Structure 1
Amino acid sequence: MNQENHDNGRWLHRELKDKILTVHRRTTANKKETTMKLTGHCYCGELKYEAEGEVLAKGNCHCRECQYMTGGHPLAFLVMPEAGFKYVEGAPAIFRRSDLENPRTREFCANCGTHILSKSRPGAVVLKVGTLDDPSVFDKPDMSIFLIDKQPFHHIDETAPTYERMKT
C-alpha cells in the first residue's frame, strides 16, 4: 500500500469514526428518537430476527463483495449494536473467506440463501436493509462507500457524503 492510500484510509477511518460519534452524541441527547427495535426475516421465512438499539451508521456500499450479494447493485445497510441483535427463529449458516487475513463473517439462510448480516468489527452487526420487515425505516443513506467499485448504472444520493473506500 502506498503512503497516499494509507493516509487516505486513515482519514476515512477518522471521518467515519467522527460520524458515528456524532450520531452517538445525538442519540445520547435524545434516546427516544434514535433507539429502534427492528424485525426482519429471510426470503423463505426460516430465519427471523430482532435488532434493538441505536443505529450506528447507515448507507449504501458499492464494493464488489456487496455487488455479488445483491446481483450487481449497491447494498443498503444499517449498523446496529451486536448486543441488541438476536435470531428469534432458525439458525444462520456462516461463511468466512479462508483466503483473507481478517474476513468478514457473513450470516445467511441455508435454505433460501438470503444474506441477513455481516460482522467485521466487535460489538456491531451490519444488517441488510432488504431483510427488514419494514425497509422504509432506512429512509435514505447517510453515506455511500467504496465508490472505487461503483458501476455506471449505480445511482448515488447527492445529499450524502461519498467515500472512495473505507478502511477495514
Structure 2
Amino acid sequence: MKLEGGCYCGGLRYVAEGEPMMKAQCHCRECQYITGGSPNVFIAMPIAGFAYTKGTPKQFTRSDLERAVTREFCPDCGTHVVTRSPGFPAVIVKVGSLDDPSVFKPDMAIFTVDKQAFHHVPDGIPAFERLPG
C-alpha cells in the first residue's frame, strides 16, 4: 500500500509505503488533546517506508514522561501528521493528513477506558480498554 499526504497549508508532504500494521481509532486522553476532543484515527505504517517529500516537521516530545511519544507537525499551520513511539516499529500516520482519507477503515478501537460519551465506536470492530494483548 502507498499512502500520500501532508498538512493543511501544503508545506509538509510525505509518502508512506508498506503493509499497514494497525488501523485504529484511539480514545486515550492524550489523543483527545491532540485532536481537539475526538478520537485519533490512524494507520500505523512501517518506519522504513515513511519519508517526508516536502518540508521539515516540527517535533514535540514531553520531557516529564518515561517513554514519551514524539509528535510531528507542520511548523506553519500546525497540522499533526505523525507520531513516533519509542520501540514501536511503525510511524503512526494521522488519517486526517492523508490525501485520500477514505482508504481508512478501523480494525479496532483502543484506550476506550478514556472514551467520551460523544465518541462513536463503529459496530462490529473490537474495542479494548487499553492496548490489545
TM-score (ref. length: structure 2): 0.95
Residue in structure 1 matched with residue 48 of structure 2 by the alignment: 83
Select 2:90's aligned residue among 113, 121, 124: 124
Aligned-residue sequence identity (percent) comes to: 60
| Alpha-carbon distance in 1 for matches of 2:67, 2:34 | 19
Residue in structure 2 matched with residue 57 of structure 1 by the alignment: 22
Q: Residue 41 in 1 paired to residue 6 in 2? A: yes
Stretches of structure 1 that go unaligned for 5 or more consecutive residues are 1-35
| Alpha-carbon distance in 1 for matches of 2:64, 2:38 | 24
Give 1:70 deviation, angstroms.
1.1
| Alpha-carbon distance in 2 for matches of 1:94, 1:166 | 25
| Alpha-carbon distance in 1 for matches of 2:63, 2:131 | 21
Point out the structure with max Rg over C-alpha: 1
Q: Which has the higher contact order (CA 8 A, sep 6+)?
A: 2
Give 1:157 deviation, angstroms.
1.1
| Alpha-carbon distance in 1 for matches of 2:88, 2:80 | 19
The structure whose residues are more often helix, as a share, is 1
Give 1:122 deviation, angstroms.
3.9
Give 1:93 deviation, angstroms.
0.4
**1:122-142 C-alpha deviation (Å, 9 max, x unpaired):** 43100000000000011x210
| Alpha-carbon distance in 1 for matches of 2:7, 2:29 | 22
Stretches of structure 2 that go unaligned for 5 or more consecutive residues are none
Give 1:116 deviation, angstroms.
0.4
In structure 2, what residue type is equivalent to 1:76?
A: V
Residue in structure 2 matched with residue 136 of structure 1 by the alignment: 102
Select 2:123's aligned residue among 131, 134, 158: 158
Give 1:60 deviation, angstroms.
0.3
TM-score (ref. length: structure 1): 0.76
Report the number of matched residues.
131
**1:10-46 C-alpha deviation (Å, 9 max, x unpaired):** xxxxxxxxxxxxxxxxxxxxxxxxxx11100101111
**1:72-118 C-alpha deviation (Å, 9 max, x unpaired):** 01011000000000000000001100000110011111111111000
Query: 1:92-131 to 2 correspondence within 5 Å?
Result: 92-120=57-85, 121-131=87-97
Aligned to 2:63, the other structure's residue is in SS state coil
In structure 1, what residue type is equivalent to 2:130?
A: R
